[in-house]
Amino acid sequence: MTSEKGPSTGDPTLRRRIEPWEFDVFYDPRELRKEACLLYEIKWGMSRKIWRSSGKNTTNHVEVNFIKKFTSERHFHPSISCSITWFLSWSPCWECSQAIREFLSQHPGVTLVIYVARLFWHMDQQNRQGLRDLVNSGVTIQIMRASEYYHCWRNFVNYPPGDEAHWPQYPPLWMMLYALELHCIILSLPPCLKISRRWQNHLTFFSLHLQNCHYQTIPPHILLATGLIHPSVAWR
């Protein structure tokens, strides 16, 4: 059943929620919106309470804004553990990746999981290396799936009463393409996903360009999940 109560009814996170139209324009994986948005969760030690809030680009990227806010407002003993989960509309650039690694090195009790809707300038070698460095530093990076979109809709969006289940259900193909490219990045493979934009008619084109190294290195089930690769059949 869908609750007829929206998040505004007795919800202490209301003032930190974003509007449905904001969620749609920021997190639609088919769109290449320039600005970035961050939805985040913080959990301290063994506490069951989760602090949720959001942030957007200012003169700094959202990742840097979060780090500055977190370090200026929170002073905790290194022995206290802290779990942070980010839901980013764009993956971190190489400079933000470096800032995140420095932040984590100064706060060894912090663990970070990052879900991203899109990969930021994924053809840029510095950005690719930055993401690999994050993974090698213990950061978990994944592409947002339907479950993450629904989680964000329920916990970060000021959806209308009765619309808890009416979250934007984007085509899974785009998520799979980005997930495939993220595997290429982590495995130090050449890019396989190419994105082109025709500004005159606002169309975005996604194309897949697989090389032998992709077929040889990427697990078959990941390639098959895109639906663009079909298993070979041996005929007798």
Please confirm, yes or no, whether 63 is among the known catalytic residues: yes
Of residues 41, 63, 164, 181, which has the active-site annotation?
63
Per-residue b/e over 61-99, b at no fewer than 16 CB within 10 Å? Answer: bbbbbbbeebeeeeeeeeeeebebbbbbbbbbbbebbeb
User: CA separation (Å) from 106 to 51, 69, 78, 80, 110?
Assistant: 21, 15, 9, 13, 9
Four-point Cα dihedral 224, 86, 24, 164, nearest 10: 90
Q: Are strands 203-208 and 51-56 parallel, antiparallel or unpaired?
A: unpaired
DSSP string for residues in 108-135? TTEEEEEEESS-TTTT-HHHHHHHHHHH
Q: Which helix (H) or strand (E) holds 196?
A: strand 193-198
Give the active site residues.
63
